[in-house]
């Protein structure tokens, strides 16, 4: 994921026309010159394309394995939003912003997590489709048409990437706030439940996620795909 975002940035630089604003007013320009220079981006278009079109396979295979795993393990039942999840997700957001006390009851993931972790899969699929639309717009012209044409597909592809970066940043903040126990659970797949019984005995909840599911590049996306946050 990190390599895809980085190489995508090297490509985007060559035609960096996107901005948020109206008329002659620019609110946010993607991206300022200093940003490019800090990340050593300029004049690396060919490098970007070479990396992008190789690592797209890793992105695809990793995503596919994750989806297959959640499907066959039954984990998807804990991840897919339920009818009430969208309403409850809002309550979780208010709670996390300290605007509301108390949380709706939850299983492994809270409602906001269910929505977010399912949305990221849909986004991943979106990146694959919009990517294919701009990679082979003639041979896969129907995909290009579904994505709203060549130029619009590029805008979608770019917007999804901004989405991942925001997701990642929020994710890091949430993990930091949730604390060590939670982070340990994300990595080990074991969560400690404090036991009233003798102090030497620990009751652990074995999650089906194990470290094996991070078998790939070990990049940032691994943490996302194996997230097991639980607040008990």
Partner 1 sequence: MKTNWENREFSTDEKSFKKATVQSFIVFSLLFLAGGTAWLWLYQQPKTADNVQPALRAGYVANERLFSKFYSASKESKSFTKEEAVKKVRVNGNVGVGNDFKPDNWILKVAKKPGDTLLITLDDIKALHKTEVIFDFKCVEGWSQVTWWGGVRFGDFLKKYNLAAQSAMNYCGMVTPDGKYYVGNDLPSMLQPQTLLCYEMNGKSLPNNQGYPLRLIIPVKYGIKHLKRIGIIFFSNEKPRDYWAEQGYDYYSGL
Q: What distance in Å separates the CA atoms of residue 7 and residue 99, rounded to the nearest whole number?
A: 39
The Cα–Cα gap between 80 and 59 comes to: 21
Crossing angle for the helix pair 85-96 and 111-135, to the nearest 10 degrees = 110
- 167 interacts with partner 1 by CB under 8 A: no
Task: Identify which range of 80-88, 94-102, 110-118, 147-155 contacts partner 1 by CB under 8 A.
Answer: 147-155
The verdict on 33 binding partner 1 (CB under 8 A) reads no
Binding-residue total with partner 1 (CB under 8 A): 53
Shortest distance in whole angstroms from residue 23 CB to partner 1: 22
Residue 166 DSSP symbol: H
How far is the C-alpha of 3 from the C-alpha of 47, rounded, in Å? Answer: 11
**Mask: binding to partner 1, 168-207, rule CB under 8 A, as x and -?**
----------------x--xxxx-xx-x----xxxxxxxx
Calpha distance 143→92 (Å, rounded): 36
| Residue 135 neighbours by CB under 8 Å, 6+ apart | 53
Binding site for partner 1 (CB under 8 A): 3, 11-12, 14-15, 17, 45-47, 49-51, 53-54, 74, 77-78, 107-108, 136-141, 150-151, 154, 184, 187-190, 192-193, 195, 200-208, 211, 214-219, 222
């Amino acid at each position: 994921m990190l390599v895809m975002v980085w190489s995508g940035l090297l490509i985007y630089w060559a035609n960096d026309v996107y901005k948020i604003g109206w008329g002659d007013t620019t609110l946010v320009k993607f991206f300022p010159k200093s940003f490019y220079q800090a990340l050593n981006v300029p004049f690396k278009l060919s490098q970007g394309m070479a990396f992008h079109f190789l690592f797209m396979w890793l992105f695809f295979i990793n995503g596919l394995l994750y989806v297959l795993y959640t499907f066959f393990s039954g984990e998807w039942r804990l991840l897919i939003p339920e009818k009430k999840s969208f309403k409850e997700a809002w309550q979780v957001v208010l709670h996390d912003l300290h605007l509301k006390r108390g949380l709706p009851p939850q299983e492994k993931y809270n409602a906001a997590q269910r929505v977010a972790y399912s949305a990221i899969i849909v986004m991943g699929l979106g990146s694959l489709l919009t990517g294919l639309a701009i990679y082979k717009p003639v041979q896969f012209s129907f995909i290009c048409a579904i994505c709203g044409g060549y130029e619009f597909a590029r805008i979608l592809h770019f917007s999804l990437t901004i989405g991942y970066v925001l997701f990642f940043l929020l994710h890091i903040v949430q993990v930091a706030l949730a604390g060590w126990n939670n982070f340990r659970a994300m990595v080990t797949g074991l969560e400690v439940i404090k036991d009233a019984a003798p102090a030497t005995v620990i009751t652990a909840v074995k999650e089906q996620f194990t470290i094996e599911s991070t078998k790939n590049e070990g990049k940032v996306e691994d943490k996302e795909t194996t997230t097991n946050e639980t607040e008990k």
